[in-house]
A and B are shown apart, each in its own frame.
Chain A
Amino acid sequence: MLQLASVSKVYPNGVHALERFSSEIQLGEIIAIIGGSGCGKSTLLRAIAGLDRASAGTVTLDGEAISAPHAKVGIIFQEPRLLPWLTVADNIGFGLSELPTDERRERVACALARVGLADKAKVWPRELSGGQAQRVAIARALVAQPEVLLLDEPFSALDAFTRKDLQDHLLDLWADTRPTLVLVTHDVEEAVVLADRVLVMRPHPGRLFEEITINLSRPRDRNAPLFEQFKRHVLTALDRSLDRTVPDTQGRREPGGGLWW
């Protein structure tokens, strides 16, 4: 279980990026975090990943506080961030250097096949399309078998068709080992198609505004009326979160995180 307890972040330049963000995320849950730009979504994800430390509050995974990158936590960024000097296969195996060569090779081959790029093993990253490169990034993160996979707008640089394809593909991969997914997105449809829960954030300072549970069974039909209804619901919450005249109901309703669980 991933617990976020009053996570706050003030950057050295005084920007209040995140204020008392609390949530509790179960193993295997898919969480979408949505909100206007600059409302602290990346900041939150980087705190969970242990890349930046929170100024206050704690992130705990299975009771263990996270203050530095953790073996059980993987992250995928908006850009694939492949290492250009390694072949696709070596990129995927990058985090497995402690394994014996045979086992690593096997797991890399498996992961490559799983993301449908078995024929690209020996290719350089520059020879991949954007969608393929992001698949490799997903494979690189998943091959380490993380318990929590964080995704920071992973598909936002891709065209609509590739994006849809990768969303379905991500669900497919998720079903293999059912890790916890925390996905930052600014695409309402993406949030509704993937998530069990959508957390809507609002900026200045970044905080939780509303939480929407999407109790639709998978696979989800993007054209179903109920799907449309959830989309509208999230969209309304998003609009309200950006409207300064709407008070912070959700954020205030929860008394200081700690008591919540």
Chain B
Amino acid sequence: MPDNPIYQILTPAGDVIGDVPDLADETLVGLYRWMVMARIFSDRMVALQRQGRMGTFAPLNGQEATCVAMAAPLEEKDWLLGSYRESFPYIVKGVPLLSQMKHWGGHLPVDYPYEARCIPFQIVLATQVLHAVGIAMAIKYKKEKQVVMVGCGDGATSEGDFNEALNFAGVFKPPVIFLVQNNGWAISVPRKIQTAVEYIAQRGAGFGVPSRIVDGNDVLAVYQAVTEAADRAKAGEGATLIEAITYRLGAHTTADDPTKYQPPAELDAWRQRDPITRYRKFLMDRTLLTDAQDEQLHDDVNAEFQAALDLYEALPPPNPAHQFDYTYAELPPQLQRQREEFLELGSWR
């Protein structure tokens, strides 16, 4: 391990210390817009939950850089899988805000469009990491040029499925990128209780999967690392494990109270490393963003969220038939009977 193994392009203060990826100005500003939307999405979803207008929600505050940059470099034909914490990357990948509101709101149907190539965000930790490897194995078998990005948390890396997935990826070399959002916590369990190794990325070596560590609050570093991993995958060189070191500034979910376990000093220290502030400074230094433009951008994003929310809140209640309709392609007779009974009476007899 080098002295500072953590790949960085921008310092927490927003100064450039690495090679800035060669991206068009509008792409650079676009990343910022997504990060602002991520923050607004998270804050407003939490507020809506508090008002009883939304289901349980997992905020992503502090993780905006990784949440944007794990998805932004992907093409439409690529796949993205993740857990509840990757809800926002799904939006970047092409799942409509409205679909995410429906998913968090507990609405049926959860209609992610197929073209987004995102599997409904995962609840059972690390299971999706195996699905990603399977999709990537299928891509390799079909000799297609697509890549699969899969996100999970630091806690999920302790699950058997995560380790089995890395092992399969080492053996079969499919085009998959594992991105661990190490946000320091798995609900209340700190990162050091998950594994004795210093960096989760070190675990790649044991599976023959190349890995790297990035500053997860540096949107450009994550973007560049993902781009390089995707290029490797598409060149047939197999999987990459990326550990993005970031921090969960919010609660685990709206059902959690982090004051019970989170040291306030640690939280304050990470607040100073806010990914959005850092990137805003970079853009302003490059004269790609002014205060007035920033204000306008916030207004636009708020309006976009509001428009989706208006649609969400105008939805009719979900059709109880959907409870049955997606269980099998063709309902077996007993389920057909249950469906009829259920719909006729509106509830069980």
Query: Do A and B form a real pair?
Result: no
